[in-house]
């Protein structure tokens, strides 16, 4: 028998002789030794494993070595396997037999079983090779999954062995999950991408597979088998295919499955409920991911939230749109939702306006805290907006609550009062009439419009009055304002004062209303102020023109003089040149 104590390691001139696989020859044949013949003749010393030096003459070193067998170093594992599988054990000396008996002892069967168990366990923990494709020249390796934050905190010390063992288990669990997905007709690339987003679920597989070892039914199985059994029992692969069929992306699927800590079937139930309230397929994943604790709520609790919204003005076919744009509303408790709804209704808003506001901007319900909304409402009250008018402001522009109080709302109000000529008495009126001004950029919109109006010769005080009368004036594009002003001054030949008195002139279409009505006035030889010329429908305008023409004809028939009818509601007319 081959033994560790009877192995000879022969060294010649610093060269180690390779062990001979043939146990019948003690030394390798000369063809296996490829070192040159020494140039000088000197005795060659050989050192065996017993530390006895042997002196070889040059002639003896050139002759064939002794063909006696050369022992090979063996450990307990290989010795036991060799004894078991060799049909006829090789001849060994008495010393070899004694050493083998000392190593094997009387416990060969138990030691053999232990060796097999260790080998099987090491094989089960080995990761599979990453598939290589034609033309690839690199040797890819499976990238390790990042451990979760809780695991990093637990393993923050120097216990490298435990860390390495857990990483090995996680890689094995990830490969087992990939195999299960590929068996479920999912592509290799899709499976790899999806598993990379399911680190928490991979940890769950590791924990559950380790816990299954305590169950007598699974105690004899390897870690791979237990992990595979848990994956099949959880139903994760059919659930993945169903979610993919419902237009969910693989990052969303991985996030949702990792978020669910209980039975995975709850994901299917919640998704079916979302479809019943008209949440479209491409938005299902976003609602589940952003909804927070929606996976931990019962369907009855979710139905209660939807019913309360419907009772307060949100139509049933609007609920899907509201939940899509603000999934956080499903995470609110019914008490918190009631307090938020009362917050808006107490400001003079009726149920119809509330439902419209929620439909236009659903984030007013579940995105902001009540403290933040209260601080912004107090600011609107401080600048002069009445309490009953704040509800109208929120209905017109509900996103006003999204702007920063000190970075956006305060600077806009200060600019209007200092640079645009708006007085402190009128600032509340301006914001109430056009709350969209708060969302405008000061440097890119408001300041440019103020400079343009001042360049027309309008004084700052007059500009403030114009803004108080028509706040939307500062939100128009200058390219739209310029041609209307040119037509007013060059074609209509109107003074600048007419524009100051009626700044809404810029709100009407040049081709659709201003130019056609001016042409009618010229043809009928009458003249109106801008307010009477542009305001009202076409029928009202025609009635005014006919009334002015009749007055002009009656006056001409009596005096023979042409007059300019400047005010259709006045009996007096100013004469004009024919």
pLDDT number for residue 76: 60
pLDDT band at 122 (very low <50, low <70, confident <90, very high): low
pLDDT number for residue 166: 85
Indicate whether 150 belongs to any domain.
no
Of 66, 87, 108, the residue at which a domain comes to its end is 87
SS3 content of the chain, % helix, strand, coil (to 5): 65, 5, 35
What span, in angstroms and rounded, lies between the C-alpha atoms of 73 and 4? 5
Alpha helix stretches (DSSP H) within 249-386: 250-259, 265-276, 281-290, 299-311, 319-325, 334-345, 351-360, 363-366, 370-382
Of 227, 259, 291, the residue at which a domain comes to its end is 259
Tell me, yes or no, whether 83 and 175 share the same domain. no
Tell me, yes or no, whether 255 and 162 share the same domain. yes
What span, in angstroms and rounded, lies between the C-alpha atoms of 443 and 568? 43
Residues 6 or more apart in contact with residue 116 via CB below 8 angstroms: none
pLDDT in tens, 443-490: 999 999 999 999 999 999 999 999 999 999 999 999 999 999 999 999
Indicate whether 46 belongs to any domain.
yes
Indicate whether 239 belongs to any domain.
yes
Tell me, yes or no, whether 169 and 254 share the same domain. yes
pLDDT band at 393 (very low <50, low <70, confident <90, very high): confident
Of 60-69, 105-114, 500-509, least confident by mean pLDDT is 60-69
Please tell me the pTM assigned to this model. Answer: 0.59
pLDDT number for residue 261: 84
What span, in angstroms and rounded, lies between the C-alpha atoms of 394 and 349? 9
What span, in angstroms and rounded, lies between the C-alpha atoms of 383 and 393? 13
Q: Which helix (H) or strand (E) holds 564?
A: strand 563-564
pLDDT in tens, 282-318: 889 899 988 878 888 889 999 999 999 999 888 888 9
pLDDT number for residue 33: 40
Indicate whether 342 belongs to any domain.
no
> How far are the Cα atoms of 413, 465, 470 from residue 459, in angstroms, in the given order?
20, 10, 16
pLDDT number for residue 100: 46
Report yes or no: 438 and 400 within 8 Å, Cβ to Cβ. Answer: yes
pLDDT in tens, 131-175: 555 554 444 454 444 555 555 554 455 567 778 888 889 999 999
Report yes or no: 367 and 328 within 8 Å, Cβ to Cβ. Answer: yes
pLDDT in tens, 29-56: 444 444 444 433 434 444 444 444 444 4
- Eight-class DSSP state of 144: P
Reference 477, options 457, 502, 507; nearest CA is: 507
Residues 6 or more apart in contact with residue 114 via CB below 8 angstroms: none
DSSP 14-56: TEEPPPPS-TT-SS--GGG---PPPSS--PEEEE-TT--EEEE
> How far are the Cα atoms of 18, 413, 568 from residue 535, in angstroms, in the given order?
108, 30, 13
Tell me, yes or no, whether 76 and 163 share the same domain. no
73 vs 546, which has greater pLDDT?
546
Burial 109-127 (b: 16+ CB within 10 A, else e): eebbeebeeeeeeeeeeee
Tell me, yes or no, whether 254 and 165 share the same domain. yes
Indicate whether 416 belongs to any domain.
no
Tell me, yes or no, whether 252 and 168 share the same domain. yes
Q: Which domain holds residue 68?
A: 1-87
Split into its structural domains, the chain has a count of 2
SS3 string, 168-215, reads HHHHHHHHHHHHHHHHCCCCHHHHHHHHHCCHHHHHHHHHHHHHHCCC
Indicate whether 281 belongs to any domain.
no
- Eight-class DSSP state of 330: G
Indicate whether 401 belongs to any domain.
no
Report yes or no: 35 and 13 within 8 Å, Cβ to Cβ. Answer: yes
Tell me, yes or no, whether 162 and 255 share the same domain. yes
The pLDDT of 102-121, averaged and rounded, is: 59
Indicate whether 196 belongs to any domain.
yes
Strands (E), 427-540: none
pLDDT band at 577 (very low <50, low <70, confident <90, very high): very low
Q: Which helix (H) or strand (E) holds 137?
A: none
pLDDT band at 401 (very low <50, low <70, confident <90, very high): confident
Tell me, yes or no, whether 163 and 243 share the same domain. yes
Considering only CA atoms, give the Rg of the chain: 45
Burial (Cβ within 10 Å: 0-12, 13-18, ≥19) of residue 576: middle
Q: Mean pLDDT, the chain, as a whole number?
A: 77
Of 259, 279, 304, the residue at which a domain comes to its end is 259
Q: Given CA atoms 328, 333, 339, 345 in this order, what sign does their dihedral have? A: positive
Reference 364, options 316, 312, 429, 411; nearest CA is: 312
């Amino acid at each position: 028998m081959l033994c560790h104590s009877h192995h000879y390691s022969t060294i010649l001139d610093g060269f180690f002789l390779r062990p001979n696989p043939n146990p019948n020859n003690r030394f390798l044949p000369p063809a296996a030794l490829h070192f040159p013949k020494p140039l000088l003749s000197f005795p060659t010393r050989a050192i065996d494993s017993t530390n006895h030096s042997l002196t070889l003459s040059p002639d003896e070193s050139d002759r064939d070595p002794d063909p006696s067998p050369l022992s090979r170093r063996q450990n307990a594992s290989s010795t036991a396997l060799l004894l078991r599988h060799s049909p006829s054990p090789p001849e060994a000396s008495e010393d070899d037999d004694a050493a083998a008996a000392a190593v094997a002892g009387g416990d060969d069967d138990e030691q053999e079983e232990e060796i097999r168990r260790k080998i099987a366990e090491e094989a089960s923990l080995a990761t599979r090779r990453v598939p290589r494709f034609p033309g690839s020249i690199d040797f890819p390796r499976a990238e390790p999954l990042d451990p979760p934050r809780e695991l990093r905190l637990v393993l923050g010390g120097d216990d490298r062995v435990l860390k390495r063992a857990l990483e090995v288990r996680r890689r094995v669990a990830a490969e087992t999950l990939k195999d299960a997905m590929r068996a479920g007709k999912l592509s290799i690339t899709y499976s790899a991408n999806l598993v990379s987003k399911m680190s928490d679920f991979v940890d769950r597989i590791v924990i559950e597979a380790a816990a299954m070892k305590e169950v007598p039914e699974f105690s004899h199985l390897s870690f791979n088998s237990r992990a595979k059994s848990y994956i099949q029992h959880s139903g994760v692969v059919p659930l993945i295919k169903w979610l993919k069929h419902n237009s969910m992306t693989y990052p969303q699927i991985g996030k949702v499955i990792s978020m669910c800590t209980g039975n995975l079937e709850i994901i299917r139930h919640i998704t079916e409920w979302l479809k019943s309230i008209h949440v479209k397929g491409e938005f299902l994943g976003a609602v589940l991911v952003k909804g927070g604790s929606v996976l931990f709520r019962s369907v009855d609790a979710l139905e209660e939230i939807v019913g309360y919204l419907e009772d307060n003005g949100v139509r049933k076919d609007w609920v899907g749109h509201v939940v899509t744009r603000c999934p956080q509303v499903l995470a609110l408790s019914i008490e918190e939702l009631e307090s938020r709804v009362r917050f808006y209704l107490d400001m003079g808003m009726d149920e119809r306006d509330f439902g419209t506001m929620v439909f236009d901007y659903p984030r007013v319900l579940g995105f902001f805290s009540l403290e933040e909304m209260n601080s912004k409402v107090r600011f609107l009250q401080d600048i002069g907006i009445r309490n009953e008018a704040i509800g109208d402001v929120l209905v017109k522009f509900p996103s006003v609550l999204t702007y920063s109080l000190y970075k956006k709302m305060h600077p806009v109000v200060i600019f209007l009062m200092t640079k645009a000529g708006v007085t402190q008495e009128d600032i509340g009126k301006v914001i109430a009439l056009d709350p969209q001004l708060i969302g405008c950029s000061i440097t890119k919109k408001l300041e440019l419009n103020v400079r343009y109006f001042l360049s027309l010769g309008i004084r700052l005080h007059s500009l403030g009055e114009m803004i108080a009368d028509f706040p939307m004036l500062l939100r128009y594009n200058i390219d739209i304002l310029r041609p209307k002003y040119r037509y007013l001054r060059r074609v209509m030949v109107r003074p600048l004062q007419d524009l100051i008195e009626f700044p809404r002139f810029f709100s009407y279409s040049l081709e659709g209303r201003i130019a056609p009505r001016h042409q009618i006035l010229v043809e009928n030889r009458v003249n109106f102020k801008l307010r009477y010329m542009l305001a009202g429908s076409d029928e009202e305008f025609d009635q005014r023109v006919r009334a002015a023409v009749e007055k002009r004809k009656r006056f001409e028939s009596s005096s023979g003089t042409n007059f300019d009818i400047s005010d259709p509601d006045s009996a007096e007319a100013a004469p004009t040149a024919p």
